[in-house]
Chains A and B, each alone.
Chain A
Amino acid sequence: MSLQLPRPDFPWYVETHLFDTPEKISLDLARHLPQRTAVGNVVIVTDRPVVMLPVIRKRWLKVIREVERQHSSTLDRTKRDSLWREVLRLRALTFAANTAYVAPPADILFTAAEHAQSLGTYQTLYLLSSPSATDMSALLKNLTPNGLIADYVGLAALDPWPNT
């Protein structure tokens, strides 16, 4: 695989999350997602956005129930307030799958890499499939400075930004 892009002027954070089954990937993503939605919009690049959305959405509802459980199991006022605030925030987030060339508005958008041209700006990019160099370039254009690339396909190990 060859993916070489101009080295960006501003840093992004890159995390590699490698798992051996799709179940572990969706579980890890659903656990990682809540804190990143607090930062801003999220884009999840996958070959099958329409299939992946309900999988993550189902796990997302479990995460919300987990936070609700923790909220109801504590009597500590500060913890209760913080957890309730988190429940309300998580419940309000919207999901959408981008199947056309105009991206629907959503906090968490699932998209195929080839539809990256139509996206607005976002703070977190989850890579569940390997985009082409052209698509990756388009995806990175809309990732804000200091944003996060969560790499589930091992792309970061290839160092797509050589020092040339």
Chain B
Amino acid sequence: MTATPVIGTHDPQIHTTCIICSHTIPLATAVAGSLYADGSQAFACSTHLDNRTQWITTWALFDAHEAFGNSARPIVQQLMEQLA
């Protein structure tokens, strides 16, 4: 066991977009969450895990957005940007 929390060992060569802050991040620093509507894996920066309000609300908005499609996109995207 290490004293320092270590999160993320996905392939460091591959990058993805954090659904919370929209930054491009290496998979090595990402945490897998739920899925995009097309079935692909969505990720967030592991550092966001500690901000509980942001983490819970953004993933809830993300899931609703992916479940209900593009009709909710402008409003949800705007709210997600405000939270980031």
Q: Does B76 contact A (CB under 8 A)?
A: yes
- 7 of the cross-chain contacts (CB-CB < 8 Å) are A13-B27, A17-B5, A35-B59, A76-B79, A78-B64, A78-B75, A83-B57
Q: Once the chains bind, are B64 and A85 in contact (CB under 8 Å)? A: yes
Q: Once the chains bind, are A78 and B72 in contact (CB under 8 Å)? A: yes
Instruction: Name the distance in Å between B40's Cβ and chain A's nearest Cβ.
Output: 8
Interface string of B37-60 (1 = CB under 8 A from A): 000010000000100110111011
Chain A residue contacts of B75, Cβ below 8 A: 78
Chain B residue contacts of A31, Cβ below 8 A: 49, 52, 55
Interface string of A55-73 (1 = CB under 8 A from B): 0000000000011001000
Known contacts A38-B35, A39-B34, A70-B53: A13-B6 contact under CB 8 Å: no
Known contacts A19-B5, A81-B64, A83-B56: A13-B79 contact under CB 8 Å: no
Q: Once the chains bind, are A156 and B9 in contact (CB under 8 Å)? A: yes
Interface string of B66-84 (1 = CB under 8 A from A): 0000001001100100000
Q: Once the chains bind, are A157 and B9 in contact (CB under 8 Å)? A: yes
Q: Does A146 contact B (CB under 8 A)?
A: yes
- 9 extra interchain contacts, Cβ-Cβ under 8 A, other than A66-B52, A74-B57, A78-B76? A15-B10, A19-B1, A20-B3, A28-B7, A81-B64, A82-B61, A83-B56, A86-B60, A148-B32
A interface residues, how many (CB within 8 angstroms): 35
Q: Once the chains bind, are A20 and B2 in contact (CB under 8 Å)? A: yes
Known contacts A16-B9, A18-B5, A18-B6: A82-B52 contact under CB 8 Å: no
Q: Which 8 A-B pairs have the closest CB atoms?
A: A35-B33, A38-B34, A82-B64, A82-B60, A86-B60, A16-B9, A18-B6, A35-B34
Chain B residue contacts of A7, Cβ below 8 A: none
B interface residues, how many (CB within 8 angstroms): 32
Chain B residue contacts of A154, Cβ below 8 A: 1
Q: Does A34 contact B (CB under 8 A)?
A: yes
Residue in contact with A78 in the complex, picked from B5, B8, B31, B61, CB distance below 8 Å:
B61
Chain B residue contacts of A16, Cβ below 8 A: 6-9
Residue in contact with A79 in the complex, picked from B1, B32, B61, B63, CB distance below 8 Å:
B61
Q: Once the chains bind, are B57 and A13 in contact (CB under 8 Å)? A: no
Q: Once the chains bind, are B63 and A85 in contact (CB under 8 Å)? A: yes
Q: Once the chains bind, are B5 and A14 in contact (CB under 8 Å)? A: no
